[in-house]
Structure 1
Amino acid sequence: MVSLNIFRLALTLICLTSLSLVSSAPTSNATSADLSPKASEILARATPSAPHFVIYSDKFVSGLTGPPPVAQVTGYNVFALSFLLIEGAFDKAIEWTWLSASERASVKAEYAAAGIKLIVSVFGATDAPTSTGADPISTANTMAAWVKEFDLDGIDVDYEDFNAINAGDGKAEAWLVSFTRQLRTQLPQGTFILTHAPVAPWFSPGRFGGGAYLTVDQQVGSLIDWYNVQFYNQGTSEYTTCDGLLSTSSSTWPKTALFQIAASGIPLSKLVIGKPATTGDASNGFMSTATLAGCLQQAKGRGWNAGVMVWEFPDAAASWIRDVRSQAFPE
């Protein structure tokens, strides 16, 4: 994904009583009225179950600061403000900070009522954290603190340090593993969303010396809620038919179609299919909404239901996801 490059500290520790309430939430008969305000807040923020309908937002939109009105993104359940970089927030992420605390609270309430989580996406195409020598622990701490300071529901790791992955020496994978583990110490699972957005080829067995995302998943996959897989920007004919997207990828990036990735050990339930909204939102990999809707229907018929991701608002909005969901996940 491409950053446009336009340009409350950590929350109070939750008491042990609140933590015990949260951990028992799935089987408890307690209502929100029985819980402390902090416990109720955590339960409301808990990781949503599949399917996930994710939309990124990085473009400047005249007259709009921060997320759009809910009506414009009806049909999605995750909205990703992009991007938070090592040097700070930019684009839609910094716009979020421009809103007052009361304005942010109002937006959060509106989105929560519509069942939409607000998260921040980090890095993108602008940052190369491994190659530039960023420390994974301090970077994770800083970014997690930003998420909590500005009261978001989680974080998406859009790591695009291609040189580091291509080096094949395992340093990129080790960086991502350390970064992810530290994020989880600061943003506990079940309380905050933590996703990654790898390009599909990074799941190709034997193509990268360090194992790319197969290694990442083996080591910290249990800490990652799902993958917003970028099935685009990888070649003019890659992932542009239902067969190429779902069943059999080309020899250029072998075994990286959806069900091939699952066959390599990645949980099918975590593989969200990512696509660009228009031909202008990516170099290649675009599918029309009608074609993509048909592919999703095929995939669901084979046991998949993880959901779909799109890059980006406002090129995609409520009508885009309505059309894409129409056959497999009608509203």
Structure 2
Amino acid sequence: MKSTIFFTLAIAALVNAAPFNRNGTTLRRRDLPARSGPVYSVYADVGTTAETWPSAENLGDWNDFLMSFWVSDGSEPRDVAAVWASMDPTLRQTILDQYHAAGKTLRVAVFGQFDLPLQRSPPGDPVEIASAIVDFVKQFNLDGVDVDYEDTDSFSGAKAGTGEDFVIQLTKSLRELLPSGQFLISHAPQSPYFIPNSSIFTEGAYLKINEEVGDSIDFYNIQFYNQGIGAYETCEEHFTAAPSNFPGTTVNDLIDSGIPQEKIILGKPGLVSNPADATVDDAINGFVDPVTLGQCITSQSTKPGGVMAFQFRNANAAWIAEAKGDLP
């Protein structure tokens, strides 16, 4: 996203004759309007209920609201995704209509830190998991999915390559069932997954995934946090000089590695005014206050395609208004 992937999304569902997809359900025609601005993605994992669900107005500049998480272990929604699934259908539709009228998307985030499908016995099948995810997306008329796959072990050591193969096949299956232009598919990799020529990620991790299925991924909500005390806390570490343990992972480095500028969404943990206001549920480290982050983005000639935050309770409309800097 970085010449800026921008979107103004107001979703118009067009009911045309639609083919059956392979999981036996009819794919209703729906179109996403052309993007006209940066992506501003925000997650909600705790603290959001049916009564406190943010209105489109309360989201401010946030234009992509992600409910966390749908998990493959049980093929079910948890946390805020479960709140959405249990909500009164009339209220759900009212919220969707409101978001779409304001140019905002509503999607589900899948997996998360503790859902590791390849660690189960037997391992999860990416095609079957993709089908179950799509069932949830379509049942609740969502605008797509965000893949938050964090099984580092599956990218390294003796298991190197298994994680790449899983994510590649999952993405292919998701895109087959959620056509481009009708649904958004993003991924939320940790920043070290893009280290080039890594002695740890010998099969390439997300550089390999981008090479194989990058055309099927609309953008990357990259996690520049939770990588150790002091990492990704200065402007330089995000744009010009990566932390020493994670070479090649700045915004500029990612572009050099072949990630389209407009697909690089700079992700940070939310906080109100200082790290003491955030909790371990948001992140452990990597905090940058929104004013400083906005000043950093403004100072750069090469911009990210947008900004992401985890999570909404500590990254409200005022947060993104400051954090986006001079992005429109």
The question of a shared fold, defined as TM-score above 0.5 by the shorter chain, is answered with yes
C-alpha contact (below 8 Å) 1:177/1:220 kept by paired residues: yes
- Residue of 97, 106, 116 corresponding to 2:104: 116
- SS at 1:54's partner residue? strand
2:256 is the counterpart of 1:248 = no
1:15 to 17, 32, 41: 17
Letter in 1 for 2:150: E
Name the CA shift for 1:226/1:266 in 2 (closer, same or farther; >3 Å): same
Q: Partner of 1:23 in structure 2?
A: none
Q: Which amino acid aligns with 1:309?
A: M
Q: Give 1:294 deviation, angstroms.
A: 1.2
Task: Show the counterpart of 1:83.
Answer: 69
Could you give the per-residue CA deviations for residues 237-271 of structure 1, whole angstroms, max 9, x where no partner exists?
Answer: 22111111111102201111111111111111100
Change (3 A) 1:250 1:270: same
Q: How many equivalent pairs are there?
A: 293
- Match of residue 322 from structure 2: 323
Separation in 2, partners of 1:165, 1:286: 26
In structure 1, what is the equivalent of residue 219 of structure 2? 226
- What SS does structure 1 have at the residue aligned with 2:124? coil
Instruction: Select which of 125, 137, 150 maps to 1:160.
Output: 150
The 1:184–1:49 alpha-carbon spacing in structure 2 relative to 1, beyond 3 Å, is farther
| Percent of aligned pairs with the same amino acid | 35
Who is 1:200 aligned against?
191
Are the structure 2 counterparts of residues 135 and 47 from structure 1 closer, same or farther at C-alpha, using a change threshold of 3 Å?
farther
Helix, strand or coil: the match of 2:207? Answer: helix
Task: Give the partner amino acid of 2:153.
Answer: N
Q: CA deviation at 1:71?
A: 2.6
| Counterpart AA for 1:83 | F
Instruction: Identify which of 93, 96, 117 aligns with 1:129.
Output: 117
Residue among 37, 41, 52 paired with 1:54 = 41
Question: Any idea what SS the aligned residue of 1:314 has?
Answer: helix
- CA offset at residue 236 of structure 1? 1.5
Q: How far is the alpha carbon of 1:72 from its aligned partner?
A: 2.1
Unaligned runs of 5+ in 1: 1-10, 18-37
Gaps of 5+ in 2: 1-12, 20-27
TM value normalised by structure 2 = 0.84
CA contact (8 A) 2:50 2:83 kept: no
Using the TM superposition, give the Cα deviation of residue 16 of structure 1 relative to its aligned residue in structure 2, in angstroms. Answer: 6.3
Residue 28 of structure 1 aligns with which residue? none
Greater relative contact order (Cα < 8 A, sep 6+): 2
Q: What does residue 98 of structure 1 align with?
A: 86
Aligned: 1:150 with 2:136 = no
Give the Å deviation of 1:282: 1.0
Picking from 49, 56, 66, the partner of 1:70 is 56
TM-superposed CA distance for 1:178, in Å, is 0.2
**Structure having the larger proportion of residues in helix:** 1
